[in-house]
């Protein structure tokens, strides 16, 4: 199994290209199930999760072709064609490693009138039930049954009649599933307290490009007037705001300066605000975001929240950065209840972090030291890389399959700005 070896203490300087957003791409790919015509997605990141979702789509009879598969390319172009769906079952062996697989439920139900999807897996960062996905689909007229580890969904003859659903708590995935199901409903579907993340807007924009009728894009109240059919489209995946924020933390912890080429400042305002609070220059510049850290890092009190608040996917990376800040910082995780599994690993590197429930207290330390550490989930793995970049000596990060799910060719991008990072096979 591969590991990454990092020689710490190198100041990052230069330009890092930002890839297409993993969280957006995994929502756009299943839209191919909604039409018989080709769907072409540009700027797809080269990630294990994208490959996994491609295999899942093939399970349903969707053909996929990829351009831009040269090793030196960042991003790819994928064309998906589903003129005929040959299966409606998403089996456990394909779904278990990737939670986003549940996103085939809505579009499959809308087009075929039925779907059977294994209960999903993914990072073990806390209880992430899919009950809101199912309740939203039921509100639109679906019949749902849970049996033997699978969700079985059926639509009435003639399709989903439509309806209304008010989310008791904001759910990105459930909003996405509901939107795709609603696009081909017979009537009108309304969602209240829907998620507003940029990835939701990206999905809505693609659906509109395919012929869907959606009102309220970018707000928490969405109205979808179902149409008889959707057509194909060519669409570019939005840049990855979490990847951009991660590299921003990497630059800041080394006292470096980088241009995050392709990042959109208006989609990551909460992250940029957090960085500025910590004492880092972080502003939009041209077609990217410039990040520079020239002075002392300052302690900060940060709390995750649904968009437009601070993304939970940035909590671990900011925690790594705050280990080098002067003073004591407090981080509060409001989204997931088990997202501090990286804390013991950071403490192995000399950090001083205490946790109590959903709160983490980060006492700034004078320096970190390299160590052998183990990734526990996707964003936790990046926090260890960030800490390793600033640590004295050598850091080895293991369990890279977590990292490969969300960061396209990370070691190559870090090398572009002066990091000494190498991926090697674990003996």
Give the 3-state secondary structure of the chain.
CEEEEEECCCCCEEEEECCECHHHHHHHHHHHHHCCCCEEEEEECCCHHHHHHHHHHHHCCCEEEEECCCCCCCCEEEEEECCCCCCCEECHHHHCCCHHHHHHHHHHHHHHCEEEEECCCCCCCCCCCCHHHHHHHHHCCCEEEEECCEEEEECCCCCCCCEEEECCCCCHHHHHHHHHHHHCCCCEEEEECCCCCHHHHHHHHHHHHCCCEEECCCCCCEEEECCCCCCCEEEECCECHHHHHHHHHHHHHCCCEEEEECCCHHHCHHHHHHHHHHCCEEEEECCEEEEECCCCCECCEEEECCCCCECHHHHHHHHHHHCCCECEEEEECCCCCCCCCCHHHHHHCCCEEEEECCEEEEECCCCCECCEEECCCHHHHHHHHHHHHHCECEEEEECHHHHCCCCCCHHHHHHHCCCEEEEEECC
Q: pLDDT tens digits for 129-141?
A: 689 999 999 999 9
Was 50 annotated as part of a binding site?
Answer: no
Q: How far apart are CA 252 and CA 390, in angstroms?
A: 10
257 and 284 in a common domain: yes
Q: What are the strands of the beta sheet with 288-292, ordered from one edge?
A: 13-17, 257-261, 288-292, 281-285
Nearest to residue 121, comparing CAs of 151, 92, 148, 152? 92
- Looking at residue 369, its pLDDT comes to 98
359 and 229 in a common domain: no
Residue 360 in tokens: 């983490």
Number of domains in the chain: 2
Residue ending a domain, among 236, 259, 282, is 236
46 and 183 in a common domain: yes
260 and 182 in a common domain: no
Was 166 annotated as part of a binding site?
Answer: no
- Looking at residue 128, its pLDDT comes to 47
Range of the domain at 185: 22-236
217 and 263 in a common domain: no
The residues that are catalytic are 123
Was 335 annotated as part of a binding site?
Answer: yes
Was 130 annotated as part of a binding site?
Answer: yes
Q: pLDDT tens digits for 219-268?
A: 999 999 999 999 999 999 999 999 999 999 999 999 999 999 999 999 99
225 and 257 in a common domain: no
Q: Dump the DSSP string for 191-252.
A: EES----HHHHHHHHHHHHTT-EEESTTSS-EEEE--S----EEEEPPB-HHHHHHHHHHHH
- Looking at residue 147, its pLDDT comes to 86
Pair 275, 248: CB distance under 8 Å: yes
288 and 341 in a common domain: yes
224 and 355 in a common domain: no
Residue ending a domain, among 179, 203, 236, is 236
Was 99 annotated as part of a binding site?
Answer: yes
* Sites in the chain below the pLDDT cut of 50: 122-128
- Looking at residue 73, its pLDDT comes to 64
127 and 28 in a common domain: yes
183 and 37 in a common domain: yes
Indicate which CATH number applies to the domain containing 312: 3.65.10.10
252 and 149 in a common domain: no
Q: How far apart are CA 321 and CA 368, in angstroms?
A: 11
Was 132 annotated as part of a binding site?
Answer: yes
Residue ending a domain, among 236, 257, 273, is 236
83 and 211 in a common domain: yes
Was 313 annotated as part of a binding site?
Answer: yes
């Amino acid at each position: 199994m591969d590991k990454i070896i990092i020689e710490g203490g190198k100041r990052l300087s230069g330009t890092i290209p930002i890839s297409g957003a993993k969280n957006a791409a995994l929502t756009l790919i299943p839209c191919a199930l909604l039409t018989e015509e080709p769907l072409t997605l540009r700027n797809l990141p080269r990630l294990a999760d994208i490959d996994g979702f491609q295999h899942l789509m093939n399970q349903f009879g969707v053909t996929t072709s990829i351009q831009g598969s040269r090793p030196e390319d960042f991003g790819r172009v994928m064309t998906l064609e589903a003129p005929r769906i040959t299966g409606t079952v998403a089996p456990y062996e394909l779904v278990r490693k990737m939670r986003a697989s549940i996103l085939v439920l809505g579009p499959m139900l809308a087009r075929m009138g039925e779907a059977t999807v294994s209960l999903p897996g993914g990072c073990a960062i806390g209880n992430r039930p899919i009950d809101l996905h199912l309740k939203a689909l039921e509100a639109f007229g679906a019949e749902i049954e849970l049996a033997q580890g699978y969700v079985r969904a059926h639509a009435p003859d003639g399709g989903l009649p439509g309806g209304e659903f008010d989310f008791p708590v904001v759910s990105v995935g459930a909003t996405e599933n509901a939107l795709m199901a609603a696009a081909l409903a017979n009537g009108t579907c309304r969602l209240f307290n829907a998620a507003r993340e940029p990835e939701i807007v990206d999905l809505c924009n693609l659906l509109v490009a395919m012929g869907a009728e959606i009102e309220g894009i970018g707000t928490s109240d969405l109205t979808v007037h179902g149409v008889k059919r959707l057509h194909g489209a060519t669409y570019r995946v939005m840049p990855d705001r979490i990847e951009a924020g991660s590299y921003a933390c990497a630059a800041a912890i080394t006292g470096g300066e980088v241009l995050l080429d392709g990042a959109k400042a208006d989609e990551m305002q909460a992250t940029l605000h957090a960085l500025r609070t910590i004492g880092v220059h972080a502003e939009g510049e041209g077609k990217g975001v410039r990040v520079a850290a020239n002075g002392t890092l300052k302690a900060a009190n940060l709390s995750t929240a649904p968009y437009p608040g601070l993304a939970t996917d940035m909590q671990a990376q900011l925690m790594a950065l705050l280990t080098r800040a002067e003073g004591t910082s407090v981080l509060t995780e409001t989204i997931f209840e088990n997202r501090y599994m990286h804390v013991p690993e950071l403490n192995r590197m000399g950090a001083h972090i205490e946790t109590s429930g959903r709160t983490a207290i980060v006492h700034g330390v004078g320096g970190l030291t390299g160590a052998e550490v183990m990734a526990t989930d996707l964003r936790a793995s990046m926090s260890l890389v960030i800490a390793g970049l600033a640590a004295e000596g050598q850091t080895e990060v293991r369990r890279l399959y977590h990292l490969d799910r969300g960061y396209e060719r990370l070691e190559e991008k870090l090398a572009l700005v002066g990091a000494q990072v190498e991926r090697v096979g674990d003996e």
